[in-house]
Chain A
Amino acid sequence: MNAPNAPPQLPEPAIGAALPSEITTRERRGFIFLLGAANLFFLGLDLRSSWPSAALVTSGRIVLSTALLAVAFVLREGSNEVAARRVVRALALGAALAFGAIVWGTGGTAGPYAAFFGVLPIVFTLAVPDDLVATLVFSTVCGAIGVARATVEGLAPSQIAFWCLAHASSGGYAVASSVLHGRLRLRERRAERAARAAAEYQAMLLENLHDAVIGMDASFRINAWNRTAERLFGFGRQEAMGRDVHELIPSKYADGSSMAEILERARAGRVQMEVQRRSRGGEWLSLESTTVALRGSDGEVLGYLSVNRDISVRKRAEAALRTSQQRLQRILETSNDGIWIMDAEGRTEYANARAAELFGFQAEEMLGRPFVAALPESLRSDAAGELDAISRGEPRQVEITLRRPDGTDAWLVLSRSALRDSEGRVTGAVSVFLDVTATRRALGELQQAQKLEAVGHLAAGIAHEINTPIQFIGDNTHFLGEAFTALAALHQRCRGTLAQRCSKEATAELEQAERDLDVAYLLEETPKTIARSLEGVRRVSTIVRAMKEFAHPDQNERVSVDLNHSLQATLEVARSEYKYVADIETDFGEIPAVPCVAGDLNQVFLNIIVNAAHGIESAVSGTHKRGTIRVTTRRDGVEVVVAIADTGCGIPEAIRDKVFDPFFTTKPVGRGTGQGLAIARSIVKKHGGHLSFTSKVGAGTTFSIRLPLDVGKAPRDSAA
């Protein structure tokens, strides 16, 4: 559908041009001069004849010619043509009758005939002015009858010629008059046809116009209503004609004007505006309306023309497009993924809020700037290669690490694809950044948990393996002790017997042998050695038992656990971490068993104890001082509180917010993964508890673990 903004140009009316009144006047004047000239000619001829009636005829003609001339001068341009013609006809008729009467009176016997046949053609011509053929035939017949009669009466040849000329002059008048009238009628008919065709053409145009055309007179009454208007507004032409346009189709203009105001404005010039008009069914139609004032030649406003184009479909399409664009825009804007669109030169064309946030900018700041400018230092190194890849339209999917403006690291999956125009040329690239930090963290925790589980399994297996040799080492050592006791007793009896019953030499020899072998030392030390071995065995078995209790590799369900016992086992396992730098103080209160996954909770205790040991180690390194790790448990209402306090270096204010962040660590590479406290917090959370700390730089840190006793109040959640 083409939609020209200009209203259709109506063809100029051609009716006026079809009626050339000036030319008609000139021709008529010419004709009358000719007639006068012809009469003067005849006057000359009559003067030469001797027939008295001829002189009278000629006089009559002079009178007639003069009268016609006078009328012709009276009929100046601008007069009503029809009225003029009537005057001419009346004068001509009167003159003819006067002429007939003169001929009658002066012609003798021939007078009546001559009068009748002389006047009749003129009367006929005047009565039937347009029928050229009839006039010619009648004139010829009249002429022929006149000639025949003159011949019969034996008139002189000059008289016959005179009659013939008289009749021919009437015929000539008739011919000229008919030609004139014919031409006039022809021209009028042509003009009428042209006007009719123009009107039909206009009506056709109007009817077939795809726009609703409403014509109004100066008082806004409808005087034109085309078919499209009928169809659009639902009112038939008959219904609409003569009605006030304001009543028939109420309108709401886009700028809030009333229709009266619009029409008022149309007086000054064409008004084009979107408008809503109510149809018969009450539906509001969206239209594009052009209103013009129609003026007469004197500038007076005759009426108005309103051309209305139905733009409902267009409006709906526009609305649908707008909705679609808004939806796309919303998707882009609200996407949780960063979306960054750049042109082939790498300048930012669009960045959504998330993308801007990821890179620490406002979206507006990034627009039009090279993408490199928005990248952090760590990613700028291969920017040239990236730009090259973008201009070649290479897709890319890669995981990147981004140091956020707040200092935290974000893991992003970058997925970039080329934007191409219809001919396949690269016009830019769209990059989507998926923030996988949370996934990475969860994965890290999971890996850590899996590692710990594997280690737990290994520890439990090793513990089993160690238990067997411990069993028989213990048994054997015990047996050795008993055996030695028995042998020592035997030795004592032998010596007694020897002293009583054997010679001094033998006794001295034995004593010498005993001294050589240092038997006294052996007798004294061997039981101690065995006791120490048994103590060692006991310690090994304690450690192994603690390891097993600590690991709990297969336990994923919550069971009631004595936390004091768990803490003891954990301290045992962690001994190597603290034994050179710190002493342990325990203050275990009377606490009820806590429902928990023991292995997980031990992990929390271990992490905190190891951290405490490391904190103390860095505080006391280079000195001979030792720190203290103090572990207390107590009941606090429906909670159990485990506090692990150290006298280490404390946590600086600046990093207190971050100690629970995954992968945050102050320890050297290889010493810590930075996941310990993050995992600890997530484990305590799973138990419905709370992990917090207080710290003073240089004085130490106290971690508090609060665990609920009522498992029902905590969300049950199996350990991942």
Chain B
Amino acid sequence: MRATVLIVDDEPNILEGLRQALWKSPYEVLTASGPEEALGVLRERKVDVVISDQLMPGMTGTELLGLVHDRQPDAVRIMLSGHADAETVIRTINEGEVYRFLTKPCDRTELLVTLHLACEKLSLERENRRLLALVRSQPELLASLERAKASSRSTDDRDGA
């Protein structure tokens, strides 16, 4: 299954440019031209990676990624901004808990590498969670199996008797 990437930027040219940069890549690309639209997409779709601009009308990228964290906690969050001053970077990483901070202009290779790593992280996390759930569910399974076996044995005993 292809990973879903949501790109948020108030500049349509950026959205189209990135969509083209991800042409032939193993991702399904969704775009939103503003934070509100992005939140609308999140309500309808489950996304794996969100790439957001920092300066947008209505809401900063930091705030938006914070909301993404609330709505879909396992989505990997990446910031792509032309404003790369230290304060913004620090605040975004601390408040939005973003995975990477990319600066514009960001070339295709860097973007693809970042997305690849993000998806790897995501799949590892998901695998981790799945295995954890599996480990947690196994004692119950074992217990139920034991119960089932015990009842069948008694049945056998009865049958055998």
Contact = CB atoms under 8 A, between A and B. Distances in A.
B104 A475 contact: no
Contacts of B24: 482
B20 A464 contact: no
B105 A464 contact: no
Contact of B23 (A463, A473, A479): A479
A475 B11 contact: no
Contacts of A463: 82
B5 to A, nearest CB: 14
Contact of A468 (B16, B20, B82, B108): B82
A513 B24 CA distance: 31
Nearest to A552: B85
B82 A475 contact: no
Identify which of A469, A471, A537 gathers the most chain B CB atoms within 10 Å of its CB: A471
A467 B11 contact: no
Main secondary structure on chain A at its contact with chain B?
A: helix
B137 interface: no
B17 interface: yes
Nearest to A538: B107
B11 A479 contact: no
A468 B18 CA distance: 12
Given A467-B82, A468-B82, A482-B24, A476 B105 contact: no
Contacts, number: 57
Contacts of A468: 11, 13-14, 82, 104
Contacts of B106: 471
Interface string A459-492: 0000111011111111110110010000000000
Contact of A475 (B17, B84, B85, B103): B17
A467 B80 CA distance: 11
A541 interface: yes
B83 A475 contact: no
Given A467-B104, A478-B20, A482-B24, A472 B85 contact: no
Contacts of B148: none
Interface string A166-198: 000000000000000000000000000000000
B105 A467 contact: yes
A653 interface: no
Contact of A479 (B13, B14, B21, B82): B21
Contacts of A548: 84
A53 to B, nearest CB: 166
A474 B21 CA distance: 9
Contacts of A467: 82, 103-105
B111 to A, nearest CB: 9
Given A474-B108, A475-B20, 13 more contacts: A470-B104, A470-B105, A471-B14, A471-B17, A471-B82, A472-B11, A472-B16, A476-B13, A476-B16, A476-B20, A479-B23, A482-B23, A548-B84
Interface of B: 11, 13-14, 16-18, 20-21, 23-24, 82-85, 103-108
Q: Which 7 A-B pairs have the closest CB atoms?
A: A475-B17, A472-B17, A479-B20, A467-B82, A467-B104, A472-B13, A470-B105
15 contacts: A463-B82, A464-B83, A465-B82, A467-B105, A469-B13, A472-B11, A474-B107, A475-B17, A475-B108, A476-B13, A478-B20, A478-B21, A479-B20, A479-B23, A554-B85
